[in-house]
Amino acid sequence: MFCRLNSCTPQTQPHQWQQHCQRLHLQPDLLAPVFQVALEQACRQLQVSIAWFSFVKGEHVYLSPTLGFEQLHYAQSLRSQGLNYLDSYAQYVIDSQQPLQINDTAEQTIFSASPLYQHHGIRAYCGVPLLVASDICVGVLAIAALKSRHWQSQDVAWLELLARWCITTQERDCAQKQIGQQGRRNTIQGNLGHGVIYEPLMVKLFKELAHELRTPLTSIMGMTRVLEQQVYGELTNKQEEYLHIVRTSSEQLLMLAEEMVSVSTLAEQGVTVDRSSVDVELLVRQVLQQLANIESQQNHSIHLSVEPGQRLWLLDKEKITPAIYHLLHSILSHSNAGSQIYIHIAWHKNAATVLNPELHLAVWAIHPQLMAYSHDQEFDPQQFQAQLPPLLQTWVEQYPIILHILCVLQSQSLQSQPMLNARDICRLLLCCELLHLHGGRLSLKTSQQDSYRYIMKIPSKKTIVSASGHPSEMS
């Protein structure tokens, strides 16, 4: 009838259930409100009137929270006493970690012997597992009917989405409570640490919170796709419009969460450069895939070209990837909608670099209906620096190229305020810092034809020397 899909033995499985249930506080009075909401959503969408969650404790299965139990025979005893594990339908779901669909309990001997049919009158049952992050089943989300019913695959899919939503929310809430408790303990014992772990701890916490953010966003996007497919009926134009807004907003939030995890990982790695052979063209294409949402929203057309020559470069892939990402993100975000974005990779040689050529990665935007960059209008870099927060003012002084970029962008804008906000400036500063670790720099070239070009310049390994300054170039 079923088989165990996990590696647990009957002896160790109860211990794992108890361990995870305690960790996630899976008790009726400690459950997140989303569990009750999920029952209501399940009944409303699937047109049933009975639903509940099952959790195992020892040899018993307790049913809570519940909905519609007043329709069952002996409902009070079922709520208060629960069921023996072997008498419940939940055992098949938990042991197999797979959904269970019973169209008519009366027609199958193994199910008709259960008290759920014999004493309480349940004729149709559909249950899905509650799986924690480690893929251990800790309970069941079930719906039922007093008449036989043929369950559809869409019914099961909707229940699985609700189950994942509930358990993810409970895991997140428990993690936040643990972090708060740990924070209070650290405050009490702060003098013991002397602040040594403060900064790395904040980075680690930032990364973990961003990672936690991805799971509910993924669930929201999954539910939205199911609704957009009109599995449960046709949608009005307004409903489709709102669903599109929810989905695109979730995609943007998920992208930001991925960025936060990436930046935190970068901070944990420190400033050590670990070089290996990197295919720069392939790396740029991977970054463009990550930025596909921005490209689509802005209706940009991207053109990537590579000059013949050296294809592999000795670079720290973990550091050069975010440098390229944040540079491209800045350009895609601030280029006018419908622009042509050009990316050109070249092996550059001149009199100064003939023995050790430089890797040049140039990026520029062209919009056929907009005027090119005007050289006649000039802006004072100090004007923009004075408008920045104090910390950014200090950082920008180390990379004058940022102020040059602000002046160029402002010359193309009719606004009185700089086009780049603090977040965008931080992106460019991070790009400059990561290039500096490679001995490289970011430059900006202006022309009547192209408006402006960002150029990442990275020397080959032989030319890299330790420098205390922060190189930058403006041309």
CATH fold group of domain 276-474:
Heat Shock Protein 90 (3.30.565)
Contacts of 12 (CB under 8 A, 6+ apart): none
Instruction: Give me the chain's average pLDDT, please.
Output: 76
Between 410 and 146, where is the model more confident? 146
Q: Are 344 and 305 contacting, i.e. CB atoms less than 8 angstroms apart?
A: yes
State pLDDT tens for residues 355-370: 567 889 998 888 655 4
Class of domain 13-168: alpha beta
pLDDT at 21: 62
- The Cα–Cα gap between 207 and 210 comes to 5
Do 409 and 420 contact (CB within 8 A), yes or no?
yes
- pLDDT at 391 (0 to 100): 64
> Could you check whether the bond before residue 65 is cis, i.e. omega within 30 degrees of 0?
yes
Give Cα separations from 39 to 118, 143, 165, 297 (angstroms).
24, 8, 12, 36
**What's the chain's length in residues?**
475
pLDDT for position 382 = 63
Question: Is the pLDDT higher at 6 or at 94?
Answer: 94
Lowest mean pLDDT among 101-115, 198-212, 250-264: 198-212
**pTM (predicted TM-score):** 0.51
- Tens of pLDDT, residue by residue over 301-356, are 899 999 887 778 888 888 899 899 989 988 888 777 888 889 999 887 754 545 56
- Domain spans of the chain? 13-168, 196-269, 276-474
Which of 291, 248, 267 is CA-nearest to residue 210? 267
